[in-house]
Amino acid sequence: MARILVIEDEAILGLLLSEVLAGMGHIVCGVVPTEDAAVAAAALHQPDLLIVDAGLLVGTGISAVDKILAARFVPHVFTSGNALAVRLLKPDAIILEKPFHESELAEAIALALCQTGDVPA
């Protein structure tokens, strides 16, 4: 079980994702729609994992993750309708192309939670 912060600007998608994550046994510590709210919520809640919509209406999920990682490493999974665009910006990221299946989400979460944030020398 992980404490997960969902960064998603479409309210219905954030709600649905929260329900799926809760059904998987995780705790959703927040659902936020903007880059600034994501950075603030990550500092407040200290989540174990971020599920991040790469493109937000206000700011970007990619920039939010960069700011959050500047404070401390948090494993993360990007979601996007255009995974290739995210891959070009973040070649090593875990990315789920929308729409995705629950099994793909579970696999991405397991993979992300294995990350340590260590960069090879």
Q: What CATH number is attached to the domain comprising 71?
A: 3.40.50.2300
> Is residue 121 one of the residues assigned to a domain?
no
Q: Is the dihedral of CA 73, 39, 13, 54 positive or negative?
A: negative
**43 lies in which domain range?**
3-113
Reading across the β-sheet that carries 27-32, which strands appear in turn?
27-32, 3-7, 49-53, 76-80, 95-97
> pLDDT tens-digit profile of 65-83?
999 999 999 999 999 999 9
Residue 86 lies in a domain: yes
Q: What is the pLDDT of residue 117?
A: 72
pLDDT at 107 over 70: yes
Q: Decide if 118 is inside a domain.
A: no
Residue 45 lies in a domain: yes
Residue 104 counted as domain residue: yes
Is the pTM value of this prediction over 0.85? Answer: yes
Would you say residue 85 lies in a domain? yes
Question: Mean pLDDT over residues 6-34, rounded?
Answer: 97
Total domain count, the chain: 1
| Section 80-99 average pLDDT | 95
